[in-house]
Amino acid sequence: MNVTYTDRVQDWPEAFALAQKATERLAEILKEDVDEVSGEWDTAEGERGPELSLRVRDADGEAENQIRLNELREKPRTSIFLYGLWGDLLHHRSKKILQQILANAENS
């Protein structure tokens, strides 16, 4: 999995460490799909202060969401965040497959 970290993330030591740990967890979640997904960590300004943003993409689409550092410190919350992004990517993949099936059915 190719994951990049913007300079803003790398210059924020705690955020960078938490993002790296979350990236390791994401690789565990993705399992055999790990090489098909890339990602980018960045900072974002949320309603309650600074957050980290993770954008993940594969050949079928992309998903992005933000998480606050205090949430990223909690392993269960981190897992929920990462599974949500993975679910969004799988939704894009399923939608693309369904469109292909319907197009093939129309051409038959």
DSSP 90-103: HHHHHHHHHHHHHH
Q: What is the DSSP string of 2-25?
A: EEEE-HHHHTSHHHHHHHHHHHHH
Tens of pLDDT, residues 33-89: 899 999 999 999 888 888 999 999 998 889 999 999 999 999 999 999 999 999 999
Q: How is residue 75 written in tokens? A: 């392993």
Residue-level pLDDT at 69? 94
Number of residues that this document lists for the chain: 108
Residue-level pLDDT at 60? 85
pTM of the model as a whole: 0.88
Tens of pLDDT, residues 86-104: 999 999 889 888 888 888 8
DSSP label at residue 35: G
Q: Which domains does the chain have, with CATH numbers?
A: 2-107 (3.30.160.100)
Tens of pLDDT, residues 4-23: 999 999 999 999 999 999 99
Strands 2-5 and 38-46: parallel
85 alpha-carbon distance from chain centroid: 5
